[in-house]
Homo-oligomer: A and B are copies of this chain.
Amino acid sequence: MSRPVILSPPDSVTDRPQTFFELRMKMHMAARDVEGMLERVLPQPRGLHKRLHEAMRYAVFAGGKRLRPFLVLSCANLFGVERPRALRVGAAIEALHTYSLIHDDLPCMDDDDLRRGRPTTHVAFDEATAVLAGDALLTIAFEILSDPATHPFADVRCRLLAELAKAAGNAGMVGGQMIDMEAVEHPLGYDETVALQRMKTGALFEFCCEAGAILAEAAPQDHDRLRNYARDFGLLFQITDDVLDAVGTVETAGKAVAKDQEQGKATLVSILGLDGARQEAERLARRAGSALDPYGAEADDLRDLALFLLDRDS
């Protein structure tokens, strides 16, 4: 089956040749390294609760682009942060992201049987184990960050912990998921949908990027720049995700598609239309990149990543 090109970056967006080859290589290496770190920090399956460890690992090692850890690494790299520290933060975020996927897939939530082309955790194990594996992955994210190996300074670790908790909790990811569920009965307008997405998926992207500045103890304006990039990046990610959901196939997306439509949820694509969504995505990719102008060519990976999203097929 041929690979559908859903959105592709127009020449106007960039003046550098974009093959994304280099970016793909860097993403691949980052994914490999963060998986190595996850291998070290996740518990080995053993003891009477072996099944819990197996479920945690089943869900975490299911492939995936490891986009969030790549954001951490790229942002940390702007300030010369030691890679093992950024990898630990990336592993914590990936554990937390995986917990959110496990719980979102539960029968009482989105009721999805398929994720990244494989049975979801509650299908491969059982519902109770899936709930517990999610709980344990959320908890271990905080455990990883609280370890001095993440950063020798306790105030840096505390700031990471505080910001992750805010991004993941009731004012961030979990709150956004609640609004998303309520939206089935109370359809939202554009501004509300953008606000919802900023909580549901955006807050964690913002944390990923700001984590680079936190690890580096960078200046307040660095935090602001990375947050501005991340805000546009997050919305761009969501728009391209909605496009995939609307026009993708199960085969290319590796999960159930057209679910939003079925459930009658307003998405950014259903509000803007496919053409409007494409234009908005391009605008966001451009603006995300320009937020990083002060870093010059050092930030090319992050700019390329935004453009890369325009071309994503999964």
Contacts and interface: CB of A to CB of B under 8 A. Distances in A.
Contact of A131 (B43, B108, B147, B166): B108
Given A48-B192, A146-B162, A178 B129 contact: yes
A29 interface: no
A139 B182 contact: no
A202 B154 CA distance: 27
A131 to B, nearest CB: 6
Contact of A49 (B134, B136, B175): B175
A93 to B, nearest CB: 14
A143 B166 contact: yes
Interface stretch (A51-59, A239-247, A289-297): A51-59
Contacts of A218: none
A177 interface: yes
Contact of A126 (B106, B108, B129, B139): B108
Interface string A29-68: 0000000000000010001110111001000000000000
Interface residues of A, number: 57
A48 B198 CA distance: 13
Contacts of A195: 48
A45 B162 CA distance: 22
B49 A179 contact: yes
Contact of A170 (B49, B126, B169, B179): B49
B162 A147 contact: yes
A170 B136 contact: yes
Given A49-B178, A51-B178, A181-B128, A135 B136 contact: no
Interface string A105-125: 010110000000000000000
